[in-house]
Amino acid sequence: MRILVCKDYNEVSQKAAQMILSQITLKPNCVLGLATGSTPIGMYENLVTMYQQGLVDFSEVQTFNLDEYLSISPTNEQSYHYFMNEYLFNHVNIDKNHIHIPNGMADSMQEECIRYEQLIKDVGGIDIQVLGIGHNAHIGFNEPTINFEKGTHIVELDESTRQANARFFNHIDEVPKYAITMGTGSIFKSRKIMLLATGTSKAQAIHDMVYGKVQPEVPASILQFHHDVVLILDEEAASLLLDGDYKRV
């Protein structure tokens, strides 16, 4: 696990965008795994600027998002469909047919999980997966539980996750109770993983992920076993890590 520590959020965002740019430059038809949440917003803004400057071409890129709330329409401002259009897809030359986000409104959610997992396989897997991390160390919407889930599945959100995400809604009661998410197994199969975290509120989760026992109660801890993971942190998120374990950039 490579750990890079940046001065602040802006530098984390720039560094992350540069890594995506390098990936697309190396392989123009690459498959990106994308995340939502406040953390990657700066990375998306940097990518939009790079696109406007002619530095990056999304025309052959395929994307797979990690997750979506259940029973929220894609036009709802709180949906992850809306988020992705707002922060990235509406501003770059991606082919709309190359965008994949789990459908939280499918008639059969069980079939949707199978369909999504199969789609990832059909395109040959994810080249680089972007992740944020929850305060309880969740990745995607894989909440702490008693087993690592292999594939895309339905999950009941933790009360702490609903509280954390309530800031985007008018009231906590509006925060969905369920979501569809790629499993820790689907995430783990990605060729590269880049996890972003900023702020002191993420320091404990980062500490537990890096040093703790690998266990489903700390979903991100599985990344200790992955062969190509980079964490891009600001100083606050890295504040519980030992100096020698990371590189300042």
Just list the catalytic residues.
67, 136, 138, 143
Q: In this complex, which beta carbon is closest to ligand GLP, that of residue 140 or of residue 183?
A: 140
Query: 39: closest CA among 7, 8, 4, 1?
Result: 8
Q: How far is the CB of 199 from ligand GLP (least distance, A)?
A: 8
Q: In this complex, which beta carbon is closest to ligand GLP, that of residue 25 or of residue 201?
A: 201
Q: How far is the CB of 41 from ligand GLP (least distance, A)?
A: 8
Q: In this complex, which beta carbon is closest to ligand GLP, that of residue 52 or of residue 103?
A: 103
Determine the 3-state secondary structure of 128 from DSSP: strand
Long-range contacts of 92-99 (CB under 8 A, 24+ apart): 92/47, 92/48, 92/51, 92/56, 92/58, 93/51, 93/57, 93/58, 93/59, 94/58, 94/59, 94/61, 94/63, 95/59, 95/60, 98/60, 98/61, 98/62, 98/63, 99/63
Q: How far is the CB of 39 from ligand GLP (least distance, A)?
A: 3
Give the footprint of ligand GLP on this chain (CB under 6 A): 35-39, 66-67, 132-134, 140-141, 161, 165
